[in-house]
Structure 1
């Protein structure tokens, strides 16, 4: 090719950038230059952005145009990045340079653009990029609840600084439903951010005609745009899409700082902290509950009222109390401190009408008469003294009391439309514009007889008079709603809040207030969420179907269209609101209290966990090797919220390994994550030795990862799969196959000649295998009831009576009734005829026999014959099993795997039962954590350094050491 031909070849490269005109990307083309190709290339490339915020997707396009006549037969120009030190960037055939730079703020990189047409190549000058601080992305609203076909609701994506160039932010929709397109306009997977934009409106409209049939939890997760935890939109789809009522409709709710109770069709449900039996679940049961649990069997509950450590309720007009009973708070009449374990009737009267709970005291109305009992230091019982009352004591002689409300240490009530307050008044909360330590008798507030509602907060009071809102008392956090000008003041005068005259009901908490107006609109003000102050009534969401609201010092719950929604205001309270997890990014917004009971087959791996819910697969925890199966633009961040893997509802089996995961759906085997030792069965050269302590690795000349489930082979006859740190074994058509690292013959091949089994390789010739279990060092399987093991055996884990390794399967005893097997670190356990046996190394009591002596043959664990499940980590000595529906754990407890409420308590050498439940169904033990299913509900506990127990991994925070309910589905 001569210089003349090169000059005649009009290779012009034009940078195309996204403009900010509309949601549809509009490209503009720079004016073409007539300079030579090499010069033109250099000039055009210089227009590319050179400053890139960390994690902000880079976008630009180079275009080749203008072949001269006579040269049109040349091939299409090919573009590539030359000498690139910018990991994450690529250029496609259309000239798009895009990707998320794998660089942090303060770093830089460079590349050149190479264009080749025929035998002619042109390379640009060096383009240098500098990485700046990440833009912070926030959403104006993160939580939504709406029906199919409902009006559009918007949220605004806010950027902390103008976008330096136009780009697209990737997102994914995770759901318990596989609808291909839930939202109008939200099926592209990308959000356009125009150059210079500081905000982008995201419209949300559920498409009509969806087939959702139950309370579905949807998450729109931003996958790119900023470093750290990405913002997400949480959506709750109501139980009915035809406009009907939810399957479970709540009519009343009341909250304390530590527990919640609600009534649905006369049935009482409570959840939260159960210390001192405040949930009323009966003697011996003080376990906390993170989801509603029914109290007794009665269907005639009318009202419930909570104090700090106790509960009272009205049932058929009768008064019942339970919980802590010192200072008379349970109204038993006894001065002796005690604990009332379940609802116990107070007196014989059946004409109770209203009931409220304060701090260590309660009040109620019976046939128009007012009664109070409990702690009385500030005169809050209005009995004219400050003596504790151990049973309901009448207040005054009136028989026309209508409404009563108890705050921290003061009480207000309505009698014939007149307002009265008493008790503590040091913050002017009594409405008489006077500071008093205690008011021991009822005190009328003003002269009006048209009060409709009143609520007493910790140190403030609000009421409704002729539809107008009035507040007074402490305004430290803006809880009076009088605006920023009055923030922090104490207001003694009864002050009108705004001008609205359609207020209907109120609730006052510690430093915040909420109210319902205009037929169902919810407003809150004060300290309504963590570390925030709202100085005026501010609407919560867009729903107009709120019917009830209840607040405590740190918590708020309400009834919206019959469903309970709760949110918390400090970190210590979040676990009590019904989420079952310490998730501040959700807990500080109204969140529906719901629960899936369709979980099955949990699988805990090295630092991540997975489980199947009604055929849908969810994974969470460590994602450093893409083992969570999320097609998330290369994000390696850990995920604490269980995220659905794809849209399939047909998952049958799941196995979580070191940095990889495999699962079976419709008989097909899929794997994803780190291709540890080619354990996807892809073949390739042998890898280097594994790093100390296990973990994943991959030769540089082999594709190291798969971000999404990748099918292994073409068979549709897979029935079982098991994973080690770098190994896999599975059963296909009754035949056993293994592949991966083979350092000890654990893949049933001679490690001296085959250190790595590169693809699924049959073990023996039998086609009657029906169970498999593997660790990082040895494997076991059951063939027609007969148990075989192979691999490392120096500690007796092969069970054949010898302490030697074997790369060929050796039979364990002569029995033919084995039904389950699990291979642990250096031990093995199996079940036959319902009896549990363990053998091998007894490190940290892993054998469960009470002995720390190794055993080279099966040793029976206990005397039970009703064992159904057994599980152990592939590189630790923690073991759990299910016996007659009861869950037992033993062995190591370094991360709280024993579930007994503490960690590092030493080894358990015999099985220890967790709780009293007899409904456990499945259990899986990972490297540090445990996950198990109880009555279809999923629980996890133990190590949480990567969020594998579905809780935020907080530096310095303790791991969850008791079973923690996984919710949000």
Structure 2
């Protein structure tokens, strides 16, 4: 403001007038105005915070704002304003605020999901300072305001609070603060499901509407589970209850799922709430009452679990062609081959990565043909694009299109779509089945080529499945029909026909109504209501899953038992889901089963337990993991690695296991144990050392069997040993020299039991060591140099094929064996050795001869760790590191290459806790108590986890800078390491994929092992 001040002064005018000697004085006064201007000082916002109460002093910005179910949560943008012209200058004007999603900018329109406008804030002038006041701007955060995370419908950005102040002189200031809105997972559900009163043999005629109302801010799905119902007389099986997303779907509809005790995803999708109006989505329940055995009131309990769905979650679609699609929050993405515009991207260029098709966000489903694509929108409109030469786009012509074209012959109302190689099927919401496209084999269920959707008859239908050159449909009465090519019996009518013969009239397939049909080139599989699988057609690649390659002409149970939840087919392979995970069978020449090899499978083979979705393509499989990972195995569909690159293992985009408890290196392979009691293996497999039931190499971790009770793991040169919680001991791999201890010299591809009860297992080389429940040490395998310690030798190529007692001592604590000598520690810390003295490796001061029984090396120290190398030895006593034996590469760590015949201290450190010694590569490793890892010896092919520019090291040298190493084991020329956080690492040679990192390159720095389950 401008201040004008008048200043008054008195000016005295004095005149002297001399008149006849008389003096007369004269006085007067006048006002003179003066001015000065003092400019306005704009206010400043000295502090800003997000408080839980009015003018509160707390600040929750760092913790984020958690909404309250069903209500607005009031938070307060509060702080201090200073105006040097006086606090009343602000108090008489205004303070306002904005709270908005940062990406929406300050110009955002008011919306509970994006932007809150606070036009008038409270002011408190009751402060000690004349120029300072407090402000408070309340923000009513709606419970459905989107969370700041991946489950948001918007970008995962934070929220900004902006406070603005203007004083009387129009001086202005603003200040900002950022925070997050936390996820709120909440759902309102009815109190129960009342099926009413029914009679024996009844099926509920009307479904029970079970509305699920969004009461949170996170997109979600529900998982449904439940058990049997107890009746006054008898028990009503839980599976008699079924639920569907459709209120019109009958009890036996393919879309109606039976209730199971294991939670199953309903694929309901609880949507976001946009306004204050609640959003409800319903499940519809029906029940069937058995003919006999129950009476009275029946009471049970079903469980509805709410699980957040990430905004980044993709639903995959693949089919007969070398292109694929994904829908993410309604947006359509496509990638792969595009020579006819089948990607819908306005050109004919292939895409190496998923690329968004247009800007629409209302896509619902996709069907992939050989060179064409069909897609449905949520409003029921049908679109098609790609190759149209045979009329498969339904446009009434043979024109190709490289952008989505609406099929307008029938306006809207489309419910389900399916694509064959060059033909299309579409099911209308009124149940009418329409077909169009290529029809040389009658795959349209009618005669002639049809270029627009045309009904095949007056019946109504429930399900459709387009295959390569044939089709399968289910009528509303549950009858299964097939039509098209039948050279392998894939029409399931009990006969075959020449490949040129057309079956244009639908054939009735004699079988009960399935819940799902999935078909490939010349086979079809049916998921039955009882959870079993039936199949017919060609079996040449094992795609029927029957255990053989014999074709079937009628729907036949494949002998895989019940409990199947889902099925899907590629050209000649099938994947199926059970409660414990996914299985695959059939063609695998491109690695499409994701099992790490190229061998076909004749029967269902376990693929993994944490897979959320598998979608087979022609010769590949798209995989969505339960943890959000996206992977592809098989023909890469122009993936990011190379155009049409062949991949034997899934390429992981995200994720690594953190629950490894042991990892052991053997010749060209690795075996590891997880905290959940499962065993995994990868690498070289010529003798079955991976324990997977075959001889195929694996370059990524594969589970050994299905057992979850393994508690201890050890390995030899080409063998694996594991003990379970029942003290049962198993072995697998090379049986040479009797190394398996199973009474034979025969290699085994799967674990076989070693007779007896065992309490502890130790490392060997071509032999094994273990303590029985009687407390005594036993040994088996190669014994040419007395390395078993049993008092005699056994000439090669023979050995001890059964466990032999070493002696009657009951105090063996630790054993480490290699090819010709063995080290051991007793409970009192004494060190023993036996076997060949060559190069001084036994530590007994000798370089020739043998010790055939355990012989004392040292009883003056407390030995706590040992490792027998190929020709040298390592040990730790009282925290000090010792070495002895051969030293041609400096593997003793003593600064030279001179061998030692007795334990010799390495350096002066006293905090060593663990050691590991390699085989032919003569490498040594040691761990300190501070979590650092050290290596020395031969570094050929990065065997020491050091730079390959270093040929060898003769003193311990730290590996990297990490301080959280927990375990290390050395094999032939690779190393497996485990960190304290349970992650597994590898380095060295990767000739056979033994590093488990998905390539065949030597790695000189430890590389994280990315599992493929």
* Shared fold (TM-score, shorter chain, > 0.5): no
Answer with 1 or 2: which has the greater Rg: 2
| TM-score, length-scaled by structure 1 | 0.42
> Higher relative contact order by CA 8 Å / sep ≥ 6: 1 or 2?
1
